[in-house]
């Protein structure tokens, strides 16, 4: 029996890192001063825990929003759904992928267009068929062509009462920060907040 318990303890010691619990948003907030870069491991924890990342939030609207579906540090990387207003009449959503290195999250040219879905902004009705196919062609035509965009994140603040955290995203193009592409992000940890956010046209 003693040998069995020792074997079980040894096995638990081997597998316990796989079951590590992410630090809470509040615990992460206590680690950083405003303006300091967030470590990759904490970015991953925030991606797993936040209900939605709202970019440049203003009066419950976002320039675009992201929901992280799968977050890993290995080759499988990060899978997320991004939503934005394509125009004043249409919202689009698509699934994209990226990967972490030691310090940055980098896109690698995953073809997100086939996953594109669309709805009418006025009534939420789904757009399909030829109209959706034509919209996907527009998305292809409007892609920038950059496949090496990378990002890191600066901690700004945490609001325990509102269950939100503010970060700043910095974008690197060709290894150099492009200040014109910086974005302020509000992370919402309350599921009820998701339904109240909309996209700005």
DSSP string, 121-139: TTT-PEE-HHHHHHHHHHH
Q: What is the pLDDT of residue 6?
A: 40
Q: What is the pLDDT of residue 76?
A: 75
Mind giving me the DSSP string for 109-172? Answer: ----GGG-EEEETTT-PEE-HHHHHHHHHHHHHH-------EEEEEEEEEETTTTEEEEEEEEE
pLDDT tens per residue across all 201 residues of the chain:
444 334 444 444 444 344 469 999 999 999 999 999 999 999 999 999 999 999 999 999 999 999 999 998 777 789 999 999 999 999 999 999 999 988 999 998 899 999 999 999 999 999 999 999 999 999 999 886 656 689 999 999 999 999 999 999 999 988 899 999 999 999 999 999 998 999 998
Contact 97, 79 (CB under 8 A): yes
Closest by alpha carbon to 50, among 186, 180, 160, 178? 186
Q: What is the pLDDT of residue 3?
A: 46
Write a three-state SS string for 59-71: CCEECEEEEEEEE
Q: What is the pLDDT of residue 109?
A: 87
pTM over 0.85: yes
């Amino acid at each position: 029996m003693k040998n069995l318990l020792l074997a079980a303890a040894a096995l638990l010691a081997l597998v316990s890192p796989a079951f590590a619990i992410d630090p809470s948003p509040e615990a992460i907030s206590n680690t950083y001063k405003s303006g300091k870069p967030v470590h990759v491991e904490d970015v991953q924890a925030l991606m797993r825990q936040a209900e939605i990342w709202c970019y440049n939030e203003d009066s419950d609207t976002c320039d675009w929003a992201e929901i992280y579906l799968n977050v890993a540090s290995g080759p499988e990387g990060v899978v997320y759904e991004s939503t934005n207003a394509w125009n004043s009449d249409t919202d689009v959503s698509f699934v994209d992928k990226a990967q972490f290195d030691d310090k940055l999250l980098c896109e690698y040219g995953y073809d997100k267009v086939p996953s594109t879905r669309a709805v009418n902004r006025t009534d939420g009705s789904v757009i399909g068929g030829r109209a959706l196919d034509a919209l996907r062609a527009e998305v292809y035509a409007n892609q920038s062509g950059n496949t090496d965009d990378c990002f890191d994140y600066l901690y700004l603040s945490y609001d325990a009462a509102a269950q939100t955290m503010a970060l700043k995203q910095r974008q690197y193009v060709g290894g150099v920060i492009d200040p014109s592409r910086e974005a302020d992000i509000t992370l919402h940890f309350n599921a009820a907040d998701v339904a109240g956010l909309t996209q700005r046209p």
